[in-house]
Structure 1
Amino acid sequence: MKGNILAILKNLDFTEYEAKAYLTLLEESPLTGYAVAKNSGVPRSKIYEVLDNLAMRGDILVSPGSTPQYTPVPAKELIKSRRIKAEANLQLAEKSLAEFERSANDRENIWNITGRNEILDKVKACIVSAQKRILLEVWKEEFEELESELRQASERGVDVTIIAYGEIVSDFANVYLHYMGHKITEEYGGRWIVISGDDSEVVAGIVSLGKDSRAAWTMHVGLVMPITEFMIHDLYLMEIMEKHKDLLEESFGKNLVNLRRKFSIHPDFKKHYIK
């Protein structure tokens, strides 16, 4: 009978010595550590370590004094405590595994977002979750709606870098004014927004079509990596234009117009993503 109970207690995270000490105290208590060792068969060299572990876990109680005495928590209370702990662990495991599974799915999927407000809400969520760096390509109109969240991100230590279309002024972000920000809306037929958060998620899309605006959100590395790197290369170009604009425009025309024409497939040299 006692051997079966020892096995059951081991299933409740008792070591063999802990189980023997607890059962001894159930049979008779209070007892000194010496008496527990003598009655349980636990070596005297180990008994106080064993009793301390049981006390810290709440399985036994200690009566302080020159010679401490030990009393077990009643069996019903022990089982109740273990049941509560087990249920809490199962709930935590259920929640954590569900979040991990959802995160794993997010890393493999591309989600469509419709509507300007909905797109900006997702961009705000990306800003809030960022811990290290935000790269943002944005027009002045959308920046003004995101400024509060961006400022809060900067205040918690996130590096915020903005490629700006239009006169965006910020005292908390690194702002790179696009060299043809005033003309590019006409050439492309609308405004877009791109954000990369911590090089791990991106939102990218058109935001100038009201309810018909379209964007994608993803954590898929196959898109996160190239989109983030394209933004970094835009920053390279901003730096190069800042230092060598005259030389580059001498070779490629004002605002590098000859390059844009060279790589256009349309007779009017404009972009026709929006129809």
Structure 2
Amino acid sequence: MEDNILEVLKNLNFTEYEAKAYLTLLEESPLTGYAVAKNSGVPRSKIYEVLDSLAMRGDILISHGNTQQYVPIPAKELIKNRRVKAEESFKLAEKSLEQYNQSAKNRENIWNITGHDEILDKVKECILSAKHRILIELWKEEFKELKAELKKAADKGVVVTIIAYGEIIADFANVYPHDMSTEITDEYGGRWLVASADNSEVVAGIVSLGKDSRAAWTMHQGLVMPITEVMVHDLYIMEIMEKHRELLEESFGKNLIELRKKFSIYQDLKKHYV
């Protein structure tokens, strides 16, 4: 018997003796317990214990008569049964452990993430775990990479709201185009991304530096709440600008430039975060 076949069966929850007995029966059956022991190399003192274990799992069948004989279930049927049982186990584990999902995550920690792809992987995870609402502020470049996950969330009934820098079209979401995208990109010297899922976790960081991009993920409510509310207030401002732009620009200049100057500590308006 080839060692690799034995290893495969061990990965399917066979002991070494069980694997040898089952493979022997696949090669020739029906066989008596004595014949299985002789052909497989399983000690005679262990063979009936091994065969009983296989029979209890349904991996082999016993023909009852004057002399018991054993036959294996076909390999395809064995694999199918294992797959079904594994799926049932995963579903049961998922349901049973769901209550521990939140407590298992340390709500007091802030986790650093480095690298553009690594940041987006975490954002995808947050999007797909959301059950009620996703607020996300991002540029069109990152939207292209997250579109599939955002749509999948929306299809599940999650409300997706996007604060969009650049042209983003998503008929599955509430999209609020930020009409100062060019100015803001220039002022900050790069692109950021902020995502809030169900008011319970956030990912926020700079995503335009390739492998040097950096972000933080946290469930710490001391950060989740203010970061989420800043995004909500961005939405307030965008709604207000939509209805009262002329009046506001009369007071604060085009695209509220005077406000941006007032609250910038740099004369050139450059934020110098990157």
TM-score w.r.t. the length of structure 2 is 0.64
Aligned to 2:104: 102
5 Å matches for 1:69-84? none
Structure 1 residue 144 corresponds to structure 2 residue 144: yes
Aligned equivalents of 1:227, 1:98: Cα separation in 2? 25
| C-alpha displacement of 1:215 | 0.2
- Give the 3-state SS of the residue equivalent to 1:195 in structure 2: strand
Q: Name the aligned partner's letter for residue 229 of structure 1.
A: E
| C-alpha displacement of 1:121 | 0.3
Aligned to 1:165: 165
Structure 1 residue 264 corresponds to structure 2 residue 264: yes
5 Å matches for 1:78-227? 99=101, 101-103=103-105, 105=106, 107-227=107-227
- Give the 3-state SS of the residue equivalent to 1:266 in structure 2: coil
- Give the 3-state SS of the residue equivalent to 1:171 in structure 2: coil
- Give the 3-state SS of the residue equivalent to 1:239 in structure 2: helix
Aligned equivalents of 1:96, 1:128: Cα separation in 2? 15
1:194–1:205 CA contact under 8 A, matched in 2: yes
| C-alpha displacement of 1:102 | 2.2
Aligned to 2:242: 242
| C-alpha displacement of 1:256 | 0.4
| C-alpha displacement of 1:240 | 0.4
User: After superposition, what is the alpha-carbon deviation per residue over 1:59-115, rounded to whole angstroms, capped at 9, x for unaligned?
Assistant: xxxxxxxxxxxxxxxxxxxxxxxxxxxxx9xx97x9679756522x1x111000000
Aligned equivalents of 2:147, 2:98: Cα separation in 1? 32
Aligned equivalents of 2:171, 2:244: Cα separation in 1? 26
User: After superposition, what is the alpha-carbon deviation per residue over 1:181-205, rounded to whole angstroms, capped at 9, x for unaligned?
Assistant: 1221111110000000000000000
- Give the 3-state SS of the residue equivalent to 1:167 in structure 2: coil
- Give the 3-state SS of the residue equivalent to 2:266 in structure 1: coil
1:179–1:241 CA contact under 8 A, matched in 2: no
Runs of 4+ in 1 over 3 A off after TM superposition: 94-101
| C-alpha displacement of 1:268 | 1.1
Q: Which has the larger radius of gyration?
A: 1
Distance verdict in 2 for CA 1:272–1:219, change over 3 Å: same
Distance verdict in 2 for CA 1:183–1:111, change over 3 Å: same
Distance verdict in 2 for CA 1:126–1:96, change over 3 Å: closer
Distance verdict in 2 for CA 1:130–1:97, change over 3 Å: closer
Aligned equivalents of 1:111, 1:215: Cα separation in 2? 8
- Give the 3-state SS of the residue equivalent to 1:205 in structure 2: strand
Distance verdict in 2 for CA 1:266–1:153, change over 3 Å: same
Aligned equivalents of 2:242, 2:99: Cα separation in 1? 49
Aligned length: 183
Q: Name the aligned partner's letter for residue 204 of structure 2.
A: A
Aligned equivalents of 2:237, 2:114: Cα separation in 1? 31
| C-alpha displacement of 1:132 | 0.3
| C-alpha displacement of 1:221 | 0.2
| C-alpha displacement of 1:151 | 0.4
